[in-house]
Amino acid sequence: MASFGRLTAALTSVHNENALSLANLNFDFTLVKLEAPAEFNGLGMTLSPRRKQDGEQGALHKTARRLGALFEGCLPKTPSLFRKYGKRVSEISSQPSINPQGHQAHDGIFASQAGADATSIWAAVTSGPAALASHMLACMLARIFTPPEATAIWAEIVAHRKCQIEKQCQEDSYFHQQEAASLAAGQDIPRKDLAEWDASARAWIQSADQARALQHKQIMLILNNVSVPVNQQPDTYESVLEAWKGALEAMDNLAQGIPQRVLDSAALLAISAWHMYPDMLVLRKEPKTIKQKDDLFLETALLTIGLEGVGRKNVSWSLPLAYLQYYGDPVRTTRSASH
């Protein structure tokens, strides 16, 4: 993943006692574009010129850069997972049945919109590792929540993370050295941009579901029959961060061939949303081994799902969404993978 470190535009080194004032400088860090890792080259080759340009220069790229800068400081490093994910999305995007190439003669003005919408993936991989992790969270949220709910979750965790960074700036005199986070905290991410971020990820997983139809059907059957919540954190930000980080870490270890045992279903939700299928051992009344035969993983990559919850018959996630409505108390929303 060394290619993530090669900048196509150089960041300016700035020293300022007030970190948040960096956002007022003329430099726009959202315009920085990184070279996509080699594993994603297959995806890049199948994108229409319009979508590729949008992913590198458009609103989705700016959103990816901002989200990546905001959350980079609180996410684990998962290079093995990102490499495997790059291979998988490149495989899916190369399938003509899922991603036919648009032709002006046949598709007219819609030629640039033909095929699978992988714009947010390209925006993420040209923005950095934390941006790619943000795309992968968008896929998890899109799998289980409706578009308005997912957008509300993004709005809430973005607002919470900005407050964290502002507090760190006030308490740590050296925090201004983390310029990208400070810049991101000082910039607005409009709700419209968050909705578009969700919509692009949602469109991608729908196409990928078709490309991996048999494995998708099997994992959804598992999700609908395992009574384990994503987690039971009462706070939206803490719940999302715990699920996000837990899924990234578990899947990165599996990508390295390291077996994992989890007591919640965040990793299961990630498997369904990221279309990566390690073998599983589900500990119910009678342990059941599920062979998924995904050549992305070594035979040693076994995910053990332990302990069952009560009251529900499928994977569920309950969050109090303070940003679902503009006025009034937070709305507690519970969704399952079969909603």
Q: How confident is the model at residue 256 (pLDDT cuts 50, 70, 90)?
A: very high
User: Which pLDDT score is estimated for 325?
Assistant: 52
- H helix intervals, 58-113: 59-71, 79-93, 104-107
Phi-psi region of 2 (alpha: psi -120 to 50; beta: other; left: phi over 0): alpha
Q: Could you tell me the pTM of the whole model? A: 0.83
Which residues touch 161 (CB under 8 Å, ≥6 apart)?
70, 71, 74, 185, 237
Residue 225's pLDDT is 78
Distance CA 220, CA 187 (A): 38
Domain boundaries along the sequence of the chain: 2-317
322/331 Cα distance (integer angstroms): 6
Predicted local distance difference test score (pLDDT) of residue 9: 41
Task: State the Cα–Cα distance between residues 216 and 219, nearest whole angstrom.
Answer: 5
The pLDDT of 194-214, averaged and rounded, is 96
Residue 322: pLDDT band by 50, 70, 90 thresholds?
low
Q: pLDDT tens digits for 134-165?
A: 999 999 999 999 999 999 999 999 999 999 88
Contact at 8 Å (CB) between 260 and 297?
no
3-state secondary structure of 55: helix
For 83-132, the pLDDT digits (tens) are: 999 999 999 999 988 877 654 444 444 444 556 799 999 999 999 999 99
Q: What pLDDT does residue 176 have? A: 54
